[in-house]
C-alpha cells in the first residue's frame, strides 16, 4: 500500500509579478495583498511504494533559518533521508515547482542536484521551452543542471516508468505539462500538478487566466475527476491550502 506524505512549504500569495510572498492563514488578510493575488499552498509530495521513494515536484527551493533546504527538512522530520529518494517526477518547470531541483551549497558555492541519488523525469519539450522562456516563471539557473547530469530521463508524450508509473502529456497549464498516475496494484495515486492543483478547481468549471490553454485545462480537470472517481484515484493537490489529498466517491 502506498504511503503519501505532503511536504508543505507553507501558504503564499502570488500576483502578476510572479513573486511568492508568505501568507499566514491566521493573521494575514487577502485584501491587504495586491489586487488579483492568488492564495496557494506550495506542497510537493512524497509517495512511498514497495519499490520507490517518489517525489512529485520540488517546491520553491527555500532554506529554513538553519540554512537547511525546507524540502530536505520536511523529509527528515518524517523519518526520511533525502538521499533515499529514488525518483523525482516533474509535472513542469515553473519556478514554484522546480525551485528545489538544484541548490547552491552555502559554503562552497557549488550548485548540485538536490536529490543526487534519484532519477529525475522531465518532459523533454518542457525543458527546452523553459530554457527558451527563462524569466518570471522559469528560472534557468535552478534547472540547467538537468541537461548536464546522467540521472535525468527526458520523457516525451505518454508512457510508463518501471511498469507502474504512467505519465501523460497534458499541455493545459503550460504547453508541455505532464501528469502522473502511480498504480502499484493496491492504490492509484494521481498527481496532476497545476492541472489538478486544488480541490475547488476540480469541483467548479472555469477557465483560469493563468493557464496556457484555459479551456483545455478546464476540460482536463473534469476528465481527471471522472476517471479518478471511476478508478478510485487518490488525488494530490499541490496548491490546496486545506486539502492536500482526497478521493472522489
pLDDT tens digits for 1-55?
799 999 999 999 998 888 899 999 999 999 999 988 899 999 999 999 999 999 9
3-state class of 38 per DSSP? strand
Give the phi and the psi of residue 122 in degrees, each rounded to 5. Answer: -135, 135
Half-sphere exposure of 202 (CA within 13 A, CB side): 26
Q: Which of 71, 92, 96 is nearest to 18 (CA)?
A: 96
SS3 content of the chain, % helix, strand, coil (to 5): 25, 25, 50
Q: Where are the domains of the chain?
A: 3-246
Give me the residues of the chain with pLDDT under 70, please: none
Largest Cα–Cα distance of the chain, in whole Å? Answer: 51
CB burial readout 170-179, b (16+ within 10 A) else e: bbbbbebbbb
Residue 83 is predicted with a pLDDT of 97
Distance, CA of 195 to CA of 179 (rounded, Å): 8
pTM for the predicted model, two decimal places? 0.96
**Mean residue pLDDT across the chain:** 95
Topology given in CATH for the domain delimited by 3-246: Metallo-beta-lactamase; Chain A (3.60.15)
Amino acid at each position: 500500500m502506498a504511503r503519501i506524505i505532503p511536504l508543505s512549504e507553507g501558504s503564499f500569495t502570488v500576483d502578476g509579478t510572479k513573486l511568492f510572498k508568505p501568507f499566514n492563514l491566521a493573521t494575514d488578510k487577502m485584501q491587504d495583498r495586491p489586487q488579483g493575488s492568488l492564495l496557494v499552498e506550495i506542497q510537493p509530495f512524497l509517495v512511498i511504494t514497495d519499490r520507490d521513494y517518489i517525489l512529485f515536484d520540488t517546491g520553491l527551493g527555500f532554506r529554513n533559518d538553519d540554512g537547511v533546504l525546507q524540502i530536505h527538512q520536511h523529509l527528515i522530520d518524517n523519518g526520511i533521508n533525502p538521499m533515499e529518494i529514488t525518483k523525482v517526477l516533474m509535472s513542469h518547470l515553473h519556478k514554484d515547482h522546480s525551485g528545489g531541483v538544484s541548490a547552491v551549497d552555502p559554503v562552497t558555492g557549488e550548485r548540485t542536484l538536490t536529490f543526487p541519488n534519484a532519477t529525475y523525469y522531465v518532459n523533454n519539450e518542457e525543458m527546452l521551452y523553459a530554457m527558451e522562456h527563462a524569466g518570471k516563471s522559469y528560472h534557468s539557473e535552478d534547472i540547467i543542471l538537468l541537461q548536464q547530469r546522467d540521472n535525468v530521463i527526458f520523457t516525451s508524450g505518454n508512457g510508463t516508468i518501471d511498469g507502474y508509473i504512467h505519465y501523460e502529456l497534458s499541455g493545459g497549464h503550460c504547453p508541455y505539462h505532464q501528469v502522473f498516475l502511480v498504480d502499484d496494484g493496491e492504490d492509484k495515486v494521481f498527481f496532476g500538478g497545476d492541472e489538478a492543483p486544488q480541490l475547488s478547481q476540480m469541483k467548479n468549471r472555469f477557465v483560469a487566466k493563468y493557464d496556457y490553454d484555459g479551456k483545455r485545462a478546464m476540460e482536463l480537470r473534469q476528465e481527471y475527476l471522472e476517471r479518478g472517481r471511476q478508478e478510485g484515484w487518490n488525488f494530490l493537490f499541490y496548491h490546496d491550502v486545506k486539502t492536500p489529498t482526497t478521493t472522489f466517491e
